[in-house]
């Protein structure tokens, strides 16, 4: 047990607008947070939308308890679900009566996070708020003109500030994201806390042998969505020298998959681009280890857990020079940044890494593994535990972003 000697274990309610079986960084963080806090001796409850139609209910079994709220599908997204306030407010209140949480940790300022926070504040329960989203993440799913999307984004930032300002502590995965929240949501103090990762889980184990691919392979893992710019990566692979026979492995599902498949065929590399869809954790780990280089061309990443996973597997990385991705690259040591959208530059960087000797590529991979050490999940869990108890003050003890800092040089139903 890791809680302070003079404090009891906590009952923690984690409210998330996306959670497994959804596949994205925020959903995975919510799962790992629940698993980590349960492992540290706390009673953990997760509140999230259900993945299908029906009433709110509580899932049976599990090392922690997952409660699912009534939700509705979104026509522009293959798995995202929304919860309507008038359908969930009473269910959330009933769940508070039943669970009696000591602390609430919301993962978003949208419906589930917002109304869980309001209920906690009304009852005088401590709230920690974490933001995993940029309003721009919604753009591909909004059938609006650009000017209207800008209005939606501005209002989303405004709502974020209104909701999260009521929390005792506000966090986000990176300093850059914290600055964006200060500038656009007008939140004065935001603590950067890495999503964290169990790096050892992605390493080769003693005696384990995983054969590399027959051909040099670039790996992408993530949602096949517009803001990930996988089309740029496909273009880049097509521009690498023919003698290298560069292959691309794409792991994940999403709405742009048919267009990406058509693009690969049109460029004449359909036989070198493999779309694997969703795979289990064991297969994903092997993909990271087998890959010659990992690429994240996305431009709306608040941290990129998949990049941390690839680095944990000692894989060189090529990342778009956008949002939080530059924090994960020591240029020339564990990989390179490239100009977002520039397939020519990306193609040259892929070629540069793949033409290195095996020894030099291994050095790059080892540098990735060393750099990821500061994102250890143990430190992340300890930080959130301190915020839950109130023994860690986000404004003084943990280096939160402030405007002053920016100037420094450095199955049972639970409702009726």
pLDDT per position as a tens digit, 21-38? 887 888 889 999 999 999
- Token look-up 């493999």 returns 274
* pLDDT grade for 76, boundaries at 50, 70 and 90: low
Task: Check residues 318 and 300 and name the one with the higher pLDDT.
Answer: 318
Q: Cα separation of 273 and 238, whole Å?
A: 10
Q: Are 298 and 341 in contact (CB under 8 A)?
A: no
User: Which DSSP symbol is given to 137?
Assistant: G
Terminal-to-terminal C-alpha distance of the chain: 36
Q: How far is CA 244 from CA 57, 239, 247, 352, 362, in A?
A: 53, 11, 9, 11, 18
pLDDT at 56 over 70: yes
412 within 8 A of 58, measured Cβ to Cβ: yes
- The answer to whether 193 and 132 are in contact (CB under 8 A) is no
Percent with pLDDT over 70 in the chain: 89
Does the structure show a pLDDT above 90 at 3? no
Residue 138 pLDDT level (bands cut at 50, 70, 90): low
Q: Is the pTM of this model over 0.85?
A: no
Give how far Cα 331 sits from Cα of 194, 244, 293, 338, Å.
21, 23, 14, 10
Q: What is the CA angle 158-19-120, rounded to 5?
A: 55
Instruction: Encode pLDDT of 213-256 as tens digits.
Output: 999 999 999 989 888 999 999 999 999 999 999 999 999 988 89
Segments of the chain assigned to CATH 3.40.50.2000: 11-196+376-406, 199-374
More confident residue, 414 or 360: 360
| Over residues 356-377, mean pLDDT | 92
Look at residue 22 in the predicted model and tell me its pLDDT. Answer: 83
CATH classification for the domain delimited by 199-374, as one of 3.40.50.150, 1.10.3720.10, 3.40.50.2000, 3.40.1010.20 = 3.40.50.2000
- In CATH terms, 11-196+376-406 corresponds, of 3.40.1360.10, 3.40.50.2000, 3.40.50.300, 1.10.274.50, to 3.40.50.2000
Sign of CA dihedral 214, 24, 317, 379: negative
């Amino acid at each position: 047990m890791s809680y302070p000697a003079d404090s009891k274990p906590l009952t923690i309610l984690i409210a998330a607008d996306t959670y497994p079986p959804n596949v994205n960084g925020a959903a995975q963080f919510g799962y790992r947070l629940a698993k980590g806090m349960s492992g540290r001796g706390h009673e953990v409850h997760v509140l999230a939308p259900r993945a299908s139609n029906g009433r709110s209910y509580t899932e049976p079994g599990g090392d922690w308890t997952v409660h699912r709220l009534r939700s509705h599908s979104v026509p522009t997204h293959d798995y995202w679900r929304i919860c309507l306030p008038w359908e969930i407010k009473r269910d959330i209140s009933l769940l508070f009566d039943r669970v009696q949480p000591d602390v609430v940790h919301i993962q978003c300022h949208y419906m589930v996070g917002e109304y869980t926070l309001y209920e906690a504040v009304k009852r005088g329960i401590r709230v920690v708020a974490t933001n995993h989203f940029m309003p721009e993440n919604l753009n591909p799913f909004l059938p609006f003109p650009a000017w209207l999307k800008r209005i939606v984004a501005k209002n989303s930032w405004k709502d974020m500030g209104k909701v999260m300002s009521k929390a005792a502590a506000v966090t986000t995965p990176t300093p850059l994201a914290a600055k964006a929240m200060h500038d656009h949501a007008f939140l004065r103090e935001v603590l950067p806390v890495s999503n964290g990762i169990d790096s050892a889980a992605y390493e080769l184990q003693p005696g384990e042998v995983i054969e590399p691919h027959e051909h040099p392979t670039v790996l992408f893992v993530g949602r096949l969505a517009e803001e990930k710019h996988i089309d740029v990566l496909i273009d880049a692979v097509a521009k690498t020298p023919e003698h290298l026979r560069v292959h691309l492995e794409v792991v994940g599902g999403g709405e742009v998959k048919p267009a990406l498949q058509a693009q690969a065929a049109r460029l004449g590399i359909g036989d070198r681009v493999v779309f694997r869809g969703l795979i289990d954790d064991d297969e994903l780990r092997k993909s990271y280890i087998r890959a010659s280089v990992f690429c994240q061309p996305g431009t709306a990443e608040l941290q990129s857990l998949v990049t941390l996973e690839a680095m944990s597997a000692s894989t060189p990385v090529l990342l778009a020079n956008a949002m939080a991705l530059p924090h994960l690259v020591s240029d020339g040591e564990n990989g390179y940044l490239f100009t977002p959208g520039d397939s020519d530059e990306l193609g040259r960087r892929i070629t540069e890494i793949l033409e290195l000797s095996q020894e030099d590529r291994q050095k790059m991979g080892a540098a990735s593994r060393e750099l990821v050490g500061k994102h250890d999940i143990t430190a992340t869990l300890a930080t959130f535990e301190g915020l839950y108890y109130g023994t860690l003050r986000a404004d003084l003890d943990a280096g939160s972003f402030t405007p002053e800092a920016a100037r420094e040089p450095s199955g049972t139903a639970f409702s009726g």
